[in-house]
Structure 1
């Protein structure tokens, strides 16, 4: 059995960043995927996107396995009931997780993961926004959000739009509906049970998290090595750096992922952790 890693405590959010630059190897990562994930990967036509899909899902299994104390290939997922219709297409969750919740997002050359004792959602978008993205999905914004954007100078709107969009998607992923049931409600503004956090992602990305139950008091950030994921069933992630930042409830943590992602990773097979 894999040695379990310390789970998030109540009021604590664990955030992981996995860079997947072009040319990285998938290695044995595909071997830890289940049949459904392997089939989905096979449907991705573009090789670079297929490669990123494989590493993203293998990375999720590695992290879940470390938290649960089990092999990555033995991690079992299921879908929660949809809160709108009750169908089996709600938020992904771990089977028999004992209160551990997760969310994953990937965009461009990076993957973002979050773990918490409360339902959580994260979203990530490459910046600047893809051409035409605001025109394509801008109509789904709440009228109040559109008014906020239109008050800004034209040059500031693309960045502001991305920040609005990742917050909205993080919230919708957290509650388990995604965009299938509409997205034009003001995310979080009508739901006091959820806190929205802007995450300071590395340059070229915009990220946000939504956590049920209020803003976390502690945010722990770490980078995950692509080579560790490519090892698949290897001795663990092995290249993590931890940072603990105490935040007063309601304050927004910023510029944390950028700092963590630039740190050199320690050697060895164990998970290293800096003192609080």
Structure 2
């Protein structure tokens, strides 16, 4: 994994990604168009009977992880996310959800098999993210990462995990000295963009999120370190982003190392 740190180049002329809505875990998802697709499902739209059916698709590792989650809302979001991933990836591969077998790419940091998730026997790339209330699944022909987050109650208190400039922007927004967005919105933009990028490169939070500057601004897309990062349209109270390998998905400008 490169030791370079990156500053994103925003593309204000781009558009945020509008995800397809997965109406039910039991419905076939709409086919993706182009290089990648993103699907969204609201967790409160999944009834207990549907979730019970989807639980039968999960493998032993997924069931064990779900059982380890103490908070019921987190456990439910995890199960819905993995059911949705099996439905979306299975449809792309022509498989039933329970026939999808998960694996892992090698970690770019240490080479061990705990990098990006993958479907065994397929060259399709995917990523999933969940938070109480919302689930996102992304599928692409290139490495991809996706993240969805709820707005925090106190963004200034936790902004220190981000790049110092992002932390300063969030603090300024909270103090009313920076125009263009509430502190909660700015934090969630930066965090979702950063985590989508780190998930995409396959190292996740094994790389400190304060190293790379993704920005808190309202530009809906940016290039960083050879990746394209787009905001994803989600309901009020949430923020989301998807990162896809290759700078040309959002425009001609690549991120610049600092």
Using the TM superposition, give the Cα deviation of residue 145 of structure 1 relative to its aligned residue in structure 2, in angstroms: 2.2
Distance 1:111 1:190, change over 3 A: closer
2:237 counterpart of 1:204: yes
Q: Deviations over 1:205-256 (max 9, x none)?
A: 111111111253xxxxxxxxxxxxxxxxxxxxxxxxxxxxxxx7369xxxxx
Matched residue, 1:59: 84
Provide the residue aligned with 2:36 in structure 1: 13
Identify unmatched segments of 5+ residues in structure 2: 1-27, 177-181, 215-221, 254-258
Aligned equivalent of 1:178: 204
Matched positions, count? 212
Return the alpha-carbon distance in structure 2 between the equivalents of residues 117 and 55 of structure 1. Answer: 24
1:139 corresponds to: 160
Provide the rounded CA distance (Å) in 1 between the counterparts of 2:112 and 2:33. Answer: 29
Structure 1 pair 152–97 and aligned structure 2 pair: CA distance change class (3 A)? same
Q: TM-score, normalised by structure 1?
A: 0.69
Residue aligning to 1:119? 143
Unaligned runs of 5+ in 1: 217-247, 252-276
Deviation of the 1:6 alpha carbon: 4.8
Q: What secondary structure is seen at the aligned counterpart in 1 of 2:56?
A: helix
Q: What does 1:94-243 correspond to in 2, within 5 Å?
A: 94-98=119-123, 100-127=124-151, 129=152, 131-132=153-154, 134-136=156-158, 138-152=159-173, 154=175, 156-187=182-213, 191-216=224-249
CA distance in structure 1 between the partners assigned to 2:110 and 2:83 by the alignment: 30
**1:103–1:56 Cα change, 3 Å:** same
Q: CA RMSD in A?
A: 2.6
TM-score norm. by structure 2 comes to 0.73
Tell me the equivalent position of 1:266.
none
